[in-house]
C-alpha cells in the first residue's frame, strides 16, 4: 500500500514552512508508509512562490493558488493561509476533486465551516483540519485509555489554553486582533485547540454559558505584519482591538459530563498552557502541553496507600512513538506533531482510510466557539445546536 501522495501547498509563512518540513521528515519516521511528494507551492506572487519552493524543496511553484487547485499533479491541497481565506480555497479545491488539509480554525464562522463540510462530504474527498495537538502521542494514549474504559464513565472535563504571548499592552496590533481576518480572538485562536481536544476525548458539547473580555482595548500599530515578539515604535498610532483577550465558559457534554474551558492570550506566566484534567468514575488524567511528553494518570483501582497520579513519559507503547524511538522519555517536540499529522494525512489518502479531525469535526469546534460568543453576548445558556 506504500504509495506517493502529491502535495499542493498554499501559503509559505510559519505554518507553511512547518508543513513543508513535516513532509520531508515523514519518510524518515514512517519509512514503511505512504510518502508525501512536495509537488507544487503557491504564494502571493510567482517570485515568492519560487523562492519558497527552493527553500522548502517543492518541485514547482505558482503565484496563483487557483492554478494549484486545478493542477492534475496535486492530490491534496494544503491550506496554510490566513483564516479568512480558508473557505474560498477549500471550496475551490473540493470542487476540483482534491483532498483538503486545512489549518485551524477551519473557518471564521460555523456557518462557513458547515458549508465547507457539506461540500467535502458531497464530493467524497478526504479532509483534515490541522489541530496538531491531537497528534501528540500523549493525546492519542489518553484517547485510548478513555476508550478502553480506563477512566470509567467520564464525569468532568476542565480545560484551558493560556498564553502570555500578547500580555504586554505594547505588543503591536496584528491580524490576530482583526475580526475580519482572524474571526474570534483568544477563543478562536487558542480556545479552538482545547475545544477540539474536548470533543476528541469526550464527545460533543451540548450547551454552554460563557463570558468574554477584551482587557487591552487598543494596541500600537507597527509597520508591516506584526509577529510575536515584534515591537511598535514609541509614537505609533493606536488601533482598537476587535476581538476578545480571554474567554471562560461552563458546559455540558451530550454524554452528561460537565466541564469548564478557559482561554487567554494575556495569561501572564503561561506559555503553552494547553491543559486538561479529565475526571472519570474509575480514574483521572491530567495533561499540559508545556510538558508535552508527560501524561498524569490516576487509577482508582491502585491498592490503598499506593494511589496517586503517575507521571508517565511517552514511549513506544503510545501511538506513533515507536516510529521515533525504542525507549520512553526521549522527547518529541512540537514539530513532531506536525510530522505525525502529515503522516496520517498521507496514509489515509493512500489507503483510503479515515481521518480525524475532518471538516465535520472542525465545524463542530467552530460551532462551540460561536455558541460561546453568542452566550457571552446574550448573557444566557446557548445550545450548540442553535448556531
What part of residues 267-326 is at the interface with its own copies (CB under 8 A)? Answer: 267-272, 279-284, 289-295, 297-300, 302, 304-313, 315-318, 324-326
Binding range to its own copies, per CB under 8 A, among 1-9, 24-32, 100-108, 110-118: 24-32
Q: Is 139 in the site for its own copies (CB under 8 A)?
A: no
Reported as half-sphere exposure (CB side, CA atoms, 13 A), residue 217 has a value of 0
Q: How far is the CB of 4 from its own copies (least distance, A)?
A: 13
Q: Is residue 340 a contact partner of residue 320, using CB atoms and an 8 Å limit?
A: yes
- Which of 229, 234, 235, 354 touches its own copies by CB under 8 A? 229
Residues 6+ apart with CB under 8 A from 159: 194, 195, 197, 198, 259, 260, 261, 262, 275, 276, 277
How does DSSP classify residue 100?
E
Q: Is 380 in the site for its own copies (CB under 8 A)?
A: yes
Q: Is 222 in the site for its own copies (CB under 8 A)?
A: no
Q: Is 27 in the site for its own copies (CB under 8 A)?
A: yes
Binding mask 197-216 for its own copies (x = CB under 8 A): ------------xxx-x-x-
Q: Which of residues 73-132 bind its own copies (CB under 8 A)?
A: none
Q: Is 385 in the site for its own copies (CB under 8 A)?
A: no
Beta-carbon count within 10 A of 82 CB: 16
Binding range to its own copies, per CB under 8 A, among 25-33, 79-87, 122-130, 352-360: 25-33
Q: How far is the CB of 334 from its own copies (least distance, A)?
A: 4
Kindly tell me the burial class for residue 105, based on how many C-beta atoms sit within 10 Å of its own C-beta (0-12, 13-18, 19 or more).
buried
Whole-angstrom distance, CA of residue 2 vs CA of residue 22: 18
Q: Is residue 261 a contact partner of residue 253, using CB atoms and an 8 Å limit?
A: no
Identify the residue whose cell numbers are 464513565. Answer: 153
- Which of 175, 260, 356, 374 touches its own copies by CB under 8 A? 260
Q: How far is the CB of 350 from its own copies (least distance, A)?
A: 18
Strands 154-162 and 273-280: antiparallel
* Count of residues making up the chain: 387
Q: How far is the CB of 280 from its own copies (least distance, A)?
A: 6
- Which of 65, 173, 200, 249 touches its own copies by CB under 8 A? 249
Q: Is residue 184 a contact partner of residue 123, using CB atoms and an 8 Å limit?
A: no
Binding range to its own copies, per CB under 8 A, among 58-66, 120-128, 144-152, 195-203: 144-152
Amino acid at each position: 500500500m506504500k504509495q506517493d501522495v502529491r502535495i499542493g501547498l498554499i501559503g509559505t509563512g510559519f505554518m507553511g514552512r512547518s508543513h513543508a518540513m513535516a513532509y520531508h521528515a515523514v519518510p524518515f519516521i514512517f519509512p514503511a508508509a505512504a510518502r508525501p511528494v512536495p509537488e507544487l507551492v503557491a504564494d502571493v506572487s510567482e517570485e515568492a512562490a519560487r523562492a519558497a519552493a527552493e527553500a522548502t524543496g517543492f518541485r514547482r511553484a505558482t503565484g496563483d493558488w487557483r492554478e494549484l487547485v486545478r493542477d492534475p499533479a496535486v492530490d491534496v491541497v494544503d491550506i496554510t493561509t490566513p483564516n479568512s481565506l480558508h473557505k474560498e480555497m477549500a471550496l475551490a479545491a473540493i470542487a476540483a476533486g482534491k483532498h483538503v488539509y486545512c489549518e485551524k480554525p477551519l473557518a471564521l464562522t460555523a456557518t462557513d465551516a458547515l458549508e465547507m463540510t457539506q461540500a467535502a462530504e458531497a464530493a467524497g474527498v478526504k479532509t483534515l483540519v490541522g489541530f496538531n495537538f491531537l497528534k501528540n502521542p500523549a493525546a492519542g494514549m489518553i484517547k485510548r485509555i478513555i476508550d478502553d474504559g480506563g477512566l470509567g464513565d467520564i464525569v468532568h472535563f476542565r480545560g484551558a489554553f493560556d498564553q502570555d504571548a500578547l500580555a504586554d499592552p505594547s505588543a503591536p496590533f496584528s491580524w490576530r486582533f482583526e475580526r475580519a481576518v482572524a474571526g474570534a480572538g483568544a477563543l478562536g485562536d487558542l480556545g479552538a485547540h482545547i475545544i477540539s481536544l474536548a470533543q476528541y476525548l469526550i464527545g460533543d458539547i451540548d450547551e454552554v454559558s460563557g463570558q468574554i473580555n477584551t482587557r487591552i482595548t487598543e494596541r500600537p500599530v507597527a509597520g508591516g505584519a506584526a509577529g510575536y515578539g515584534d515591537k511598535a515604535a514609541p509614537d505609533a498610532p493606536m488601533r482598537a482591538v476587535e476581538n476578545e483577550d480571554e474567554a471562560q465558559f461552563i458546559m455540558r457534554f451530550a454524554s452528561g459530563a460537565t466541564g469548564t474551558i478557559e482561554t487567554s492570550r494575556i495569561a501572564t506566566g503561561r506559555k503553552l498552557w494547553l491543559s486538561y484534567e479529565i475526571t472519570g468514575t474509575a480514574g483521572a488524567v491530567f495533561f499540559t502541553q508545556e510538558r508535552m511528553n508527560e501524561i498524569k494518570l490516576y487509577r482508582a483501582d491502585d491498592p490503598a496507600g499506593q494511589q496517586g497520579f503517575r507521571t508517565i513519559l511517552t514511549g513506544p507503547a503510545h501511538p506513533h512513538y515507536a516510529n521515533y524511538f525504542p525507549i520512553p522519555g526521549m522527547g518529541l517536540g512540537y514539530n513532531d506533531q506536525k510530522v505525525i499529522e502529515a503522516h496520517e494525512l498521507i496514509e489515509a489518502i493512500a489507503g483510503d482510510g479515515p481521518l480525524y479531525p475532518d471538516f465535520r469535526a472542525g465545524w463542530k469546534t467552530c460551532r462551540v466557539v460561536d455558541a460561546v460568543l453568542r452566550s457571552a453576548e446574550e448573557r444566557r445558556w446557548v445550545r450548540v445546536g442553535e448556531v
